[in-house]
């Protein structure tokens, strides 16, 4: 009988991490060590009904691993400070850069494959496009400290992988992938407040007022509501993470979006549709302090992951939102 993998999953109390935990459970994996800051009570429902073998506080993880000497077969590092409105870089540096280096070094020392969360925020204003090409990473100019911290770790990881002065076995995990998540939405984001997806906020606005407010465009080439993002359902994110564990592809950075940009107007109309209502949209001025940091267009180039062998189709925006609204938001259910 094949031995079940022991998986370490950081960020397990959060949105994407808790969803991946449930996804792994559904795939038959329960020998999972979960790590996070478990002090926030509003995150408990994300993970308390799921199966795992150990729950470890984020700050105690490395001492716990050392003391228990628990053998780990695979690491998903999804833990991070994801607040793009947190402008104290020191916070992001500690949690997103330095902590990630510790995870990387642990995987290197123990020869454990690693999949970690990067972000499309690394692309900044999109001056260099949205292709997961290692050659552009050094040039990227993220628009906020969160994006900077994510890009700094990507740069550091690539340096470890490509520095000829470092021997391969001493500098990198046996296999690694950094996933540049685009705009992820779906169940288990109730705790995220202002950082929750636009779908979540649109749903709550409709419930409260019967309408949704969207930012006006402040660029003449975009009409109001026609700003574009690559929105990806969290089910697809979990599916790709799982596939990367089961099918180890060439190490490196990979985009994780759908490859199709959609407008905020499309998103809001799909949310109204999922609620069985006709759309009512009001356009408001974008605050001046974020206008120069606002992305008007993002779209993942997905060719690298597809060329590596991932052939599954992604949820359309309409299908993903319909599932999210009808099966989770309307019922206030968790995955």
- Domains in the chain and their CATH numbers? 7-185+232-259+300-315 (3.40.50.720), 190-229+261-299+321-329 (3.90.25.10)
Short-list 119, 74, 100, 79, CA closest to 248: 74
Q: d(Cα 289, Cα 148) in Å, to the nearest integer?
A: 19
Active-site residue flag, 296: no
Largest CA distance in the chain: 63
Over 90: is that where the pLDDT of 84 sits? no
Short-list 8, 56, 7, CA closest to 29: 7
Q: Give the pLDDT band of residue 237 (cuts 50, 70, 90).
A: very high
The catalytic position among 55, 110, 192, 211 is 192
pLDDT recorded at residue 163: 64
Over 60: is that where the pLDDT of 164 sits? no
Active-site residue flag, 146: yes
Q: d(Cα 254, Cα 76) in Å, to the nearest integer?
A: 15
pLDDT recorded at residue 93: 80
For the record, the structure tokens of 313 come out as 């189709």
Question: Which DSSP helix (H) or strand (E) runs through 303?
Answer: helix 303-307
pLDDT recorded at residue 270: 98
Over 70: is that where the pLDDT of 273 sits? yes
Q: Give the pLDDT band of residue 227 (cuts 50, 70, 90).
A: very high
pLDDT recorded at residue 92: 82
- Better-predicted residue by pLDDT, 301 or 293: 301
What pTM was computed for the model?
Answer: 0.95
Q: d(Cα 271, Cα 211) in Å, to the nearest integer?
A: 11
- Residue 311: how many other CB atoms lie within 10 Å: 7
The catalytic position among 116, 130, 146, 335 is 146
What is the percentage of the chain residues whose pLDDT exceeds 70? 95
Q: d(Cα 116, Cα 81) in Å, to the nearest integer?
A: 14
- Residue 79: how many other CB atoms lie within 10 Å: 26
pLDDT recorded at residue 248: 84
Average pLDDT of the segment spanning 22-32:
97
pLDDT recorded at residue 65: 96
Q: For residue 4, give the DSSP letter.
A: P
When the pLDDT of each residue in the chain is averaged and rounded to a whole number, the result is 93
Over 80: is that where the pLDDT of 75 sits? yes
pLDDT recorded at residue 165: 52
Q: Can you say how many angstroms the Cα of residue 94 is from the centroid of all Cα atoms in its chain? A: 18
Q: Who contacts 115 (Cβ-Cβ below 8 Å, separation ≥6)?
A: 74, 75, 76, 77, 176, 177, 178, 179, 241, 244, 245
**pLDDT tens digits for range 188-197:** 999 999 899 9
Average pLDDT of the segment spanning 131-160:
95
Over 80: is that where the pLDDT of 170 sits? no
């Amino acid at each position: 009988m094949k031995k079940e993998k022991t998986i370490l999953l950081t960020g397990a109390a959060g949105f994407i991490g808790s969803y991946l935990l449930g996804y792994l459970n559904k795939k038959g994996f329960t020998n999972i060590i979960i790590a996070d800051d478990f002090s926030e009570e509003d995150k408990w429902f994300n993970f308390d009904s799921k199966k795992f073998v150990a729950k470890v506080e984020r700050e105690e993880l490395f001492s716990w691993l050392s003391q228990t000497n628990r053998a780990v077969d695979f690491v998903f590092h999804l833990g991070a400070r994801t607040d793009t409105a947190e402008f104290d870089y020191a916070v992001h540096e500690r949690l997103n850069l330095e902590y990630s280096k510790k995870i990387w070094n642990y995987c290197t020392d123990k020869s454990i494959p690693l999949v970690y969360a990067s972000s499309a925020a690394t692309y900044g204003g999109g001056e260099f496009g949205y292709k997961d090409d290692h050659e552009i990473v050094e040039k990227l100019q993220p628009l906020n400290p969160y994006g900077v911290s994510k890009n700094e770790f990507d740069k550091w990881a690539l340096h470890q992988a490509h520095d000829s002065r470092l021997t391969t076995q001493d500098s990198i995990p046996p296999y690694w992938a950094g996933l540049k998540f685009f705009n992820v939405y779906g169940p288990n984001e109730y705790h995220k407040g202002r950082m929750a997806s636009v779908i979540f906020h649109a749903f709550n606005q409709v419930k409260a007022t019967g309408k949704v407010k969207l930012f006006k465009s402040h660029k003449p080439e975009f009409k109001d509501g026609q700003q574009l993002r690559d929105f990806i359902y969290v089910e697809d994110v979990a599916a790709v993470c799982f596939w990367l564990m089961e099918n180890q592809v060439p190490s490196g950075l990979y985009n994780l979006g759908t490859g199709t940009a959609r407008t905020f107007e499309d998103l809001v109309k799909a949310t109204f549709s999922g609620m069985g209502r006709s759309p009512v949209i009001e356009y408001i001025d974008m605050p001046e302090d974020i206008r120069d940091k606002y992305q008007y267009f993002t779209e993942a180039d997905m060719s690298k992951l597809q060329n590596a062998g991932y052939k599954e189709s992604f949820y359309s925006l309409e299908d993903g939102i319909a599932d999210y609204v009808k099966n989770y938001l309307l019922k206030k259910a968790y995955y």
